[in-house]
Copies of this chain bind each other. A is one copy, B any other.
Amino acid sequence: MKSITAAVLTAYEQPLEIRQYPALTAAGPGECVVRIEMAGICGTDVHLWLGQLPIPLPVIMGHETVGRIELLGEGLHKDFRGETLAVGDRVVWASSITCGECYYCRVVRQPTRCVNRKAYGISYCCDIDPHLRGGYAEQIHLRAGTSLFKIPDAVPTEAVVGSGCALMTAIHGLERCPVSWGDSVVVQGTGPVGLAAIAVAKQSGAGKIIAIGGPAHRIAMAQAFGADVVVDIAAVPTPEARRELVLAETGGFGADLVVECVGYPGAVNEGIELPRDGGKYLVLGQYANAGNISFNPHIITRKQLTIFGSWAFEARHVDKALRMLEIPHWQHLFAEEITARFPLEEANTALDTVRNWRAGKTVLIP
């Protein structure tokens, strides 16, 4: 029996270990085994590596993964959209499974807050059989109940992994806090979530899109994605000066909608001043608990704001992401986000590249 290579997080802030696991040779009812073609490295993986979220070590990270079906368990005939599944099909899947039974799933319909939610690449200890539940590996075992999506032939793997969980996160956020056509939109941050937010805003018919970010290669991408104005935080280093620029671009009032995609908590102090009165602010990037800021709640009342939080995404949003990636324009842009590719054995170099913002999107090719 062949063995399967995986890059394993065994201790925080320590190099991933390259380990071998027994190859998966069977799939139970509703389960699925996938041969991995490409795994994205998400900024969240860096936070996991730093120990900033509680997870059960050791873990095979990787929650942005595309592969081909090797084994289909009994009863698993169709994907989330009703497409027939077969061995050899190229697939992606929602990284989380929700229970469908708890208060958040059933009664108040907030499944992203399911009390029993578990995510591939994050929540599964790889000491426990079947071990392979993350993307940094040659194979992955998907539980019954996973929302699978057969990828249309026209959509390249690079586009799916390049857009990663950022696109689904932006789709969910901008579903909760929708862009109306013609709205002026400020996007704080030009990382993967920021670029995805620009894309979804553009796709929704946004008027002027103003992005705030850096460095230079991200500025160029923000422009390619459709930002009409990009404010380089290196060139305009103070929040006050950036606010003046935003006001100048929005008739002196501020934007209809502002999307925070930075993650650094201080960004919220800058961002909350950027919508016009009666405008909307989507806090999308504060996924990790990075501590407190000094904040004036009077601004919420006085500016008559609506502020939205949005956590992760549902399987529905993977469907929407794939539909967006069927549009050649977005397909190319998201595929081109990938500027660094590494084999599984160089997972540590890959993680380091993400940690130091040295590339666009970085991927592993097992």
Check if A182 is an interface residue, CB within 8 A of chain B: yes
Q: How many copies of this chain are found per oligomer? A: 4
Check if A301 is an interface residue, CB within 8 A of chain B: yes
Complex CA–CA separation, A278 to B108 (angstroms): 8
Complex CA–CA separation, A110 to B278 (angstroms): 6
Residues of the B chain whose Cβ atoms lie less than 8 Å from the Cβ of A301: 283-287, 309-311
Contact of A316 with B278 in the complex, beta carbons under 8 Å: no
Residues of the B chain whose Cβ atoms lie less than 8 Å from the Cβ of A287: 298, 301-302
A250 to chain B, nearest CB (A): 10
* A274-310 Cβ-contact flags toward B at 8 Å (1 or 0): 0011100001111111111111111111111111111
Check if A1 is an interface residue, CB within 8 A of chain B: no
Residues of the B chain whose Cβ atoms lie less than 8 Å from the Cβ of A276: 108
Chain B minimum-CB-distance residue to A285: B301
Complex CA–CA separation, A112 to B108 (angstroms): 17
Contact of B304 with A296 in the complex, beta carbons under 8 Å: no
Residues of the B chain whose Cβ atoms lie less than 8 Å from the Cβ of A102: 82
Check if A204 is an interface residue, CB within 8 A of chain B: yes
Starting from the known contacts A110-B304, A292-B296, 5 additional A-B residue pairs (CB-CB under 8 Å) come to A103-B251, A104-B278, A176-B306, A288-B298, A303-B309
Q: List 29 A-B contacts (CB under 8 A).
A: A78-B101, A81-B103, A103-B251, A103-B253, A106-B315, A108-B276, A110-B304, A113-B304, A181-B200, A181-B203, A181-B204, A181-B205, A182-B203, A182-B323, A207-B323, A285-B301, A286-B300, A287-B298, A292-B295, A293-B296, A300-B307, A301-B311, A303-B309, A304-B310, A305-B308, A306-B306, A306-B308, A307-B307, A307-B309
